């Protein structure tokens, strides 16, 4: 089974993550970046929707088994390369020349929640699924660029709560604080809502890309200037 696949629905590219928990590892990063490159080359596409074929999970973030094995084997080069590759995924989404819309049909935790926040808009089903930033309980600090990615999608007062408590938030709560464009009743309604919204976009790629480039310059600057210090030192886990 592929990690993910994409198909066209009229003018919209729908990326479907298809690995159950949709954990992030080098294979995930490569598949995601490859899909975005393919979609970018099709100039008839005017929006992207990212969803999952799991009824329970959208993405649970980092593949902790993979990264744990690499750490046990002292394969630090593999870990560093993966972290840079995931930054490439986030950058690709942030600067993509058409709207990128997350359709959260299940849990979005950790790096999966950051992936959702890198998108331009978010929809989520109300009947099942949580959004959570559990890093404060796991002893994992965010890279510098991850914080402004979250800030662009979540009001600061709400981010402060979610980030420092590690609490789980459901769709209705996220909609009330404008993290979501809409909390839909169920998975089918969510996809219908997300696709209808996606199909409403007919923006010219050049101007859309330039708007995003200027809006998110502080994030891409942080990826280039600040993140490498933490990646190269592998400052991933804090015991106290």
For 171-180, the pLDDT digits (tens) are 999 999 999 9
Domains parsed from the chain with CATH numbers: 4-199 (3.90.226.10)
DSSP for residue 202: -
Query: Among positive and negative, which fits the CA dihedral 159, 160, 161, 165?
Result: positive
**Please, which residues have CB within 8 angstroms of residue 205's CB and are 6 or more apart in sequence?**
43, 97, 98
Task: Give this prediction's pTM.
Answer: 0.96
Residue 189 makes CB contacts below 8 A (sequence gap 6+) with 125
**pLDDT tens, 150-174?**
999 999 999 999 999 999 999 999 9
Q: Give the C-alpha separation, 33 to 85, whole Å.
A: 9
pLDDT tens string 107-143: 999 999 999 999 999 999 999 899 999 999 988 899 9
């Amino acid at each position: 089974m592929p990690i993910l696949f994409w198909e066209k629905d009229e003018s919209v590219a729908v990326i479907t993550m298809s690995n159950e928990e949709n954990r992030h590892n080098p294979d995930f990063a490569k598949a995601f970046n490859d899909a975005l490159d393919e979609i970018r080359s099709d100039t008839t596409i005017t929006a992207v929707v990212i969803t999952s074929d799991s009824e329970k999970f959208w993405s649970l973030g980092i593949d902790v088994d993979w990264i744990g094995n690499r750490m046990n084997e002292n394969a630090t080069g593999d870990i560093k390369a993966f972290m840079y590759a995931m930054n490439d995924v986030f950058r690709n989404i942030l600067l993509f020349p058409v709207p990128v819309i997350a359709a959260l049909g299940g849990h979005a935790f950790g790096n999966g929640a950051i992936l959702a926040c890198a998108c331009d808009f978010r929809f989520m089903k109300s009947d099942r699924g949580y959004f959570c930033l559990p890093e404060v309980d796991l002893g994992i600090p965010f890279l510098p660029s991850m914080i402004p990615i979250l800030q662009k999608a979540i009001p600061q007062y709400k981010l402060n709560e979610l980030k420092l408590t590690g609490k789980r938030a459901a769709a209705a709560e996220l909609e009330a604080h404008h993290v979501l464009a809409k909390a839909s009743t169920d998975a089918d309604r969510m996809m219908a809502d997300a696709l209808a919204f996606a199909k409403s976009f007919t923006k010219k790629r050049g101007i859309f890309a330039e708007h995003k480039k200027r809006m998110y310059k502080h994030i891409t600057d942080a990826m280039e200037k600040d993140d490498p210090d933490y990646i190269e030192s592998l400052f991933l886990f804090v015991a106290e």
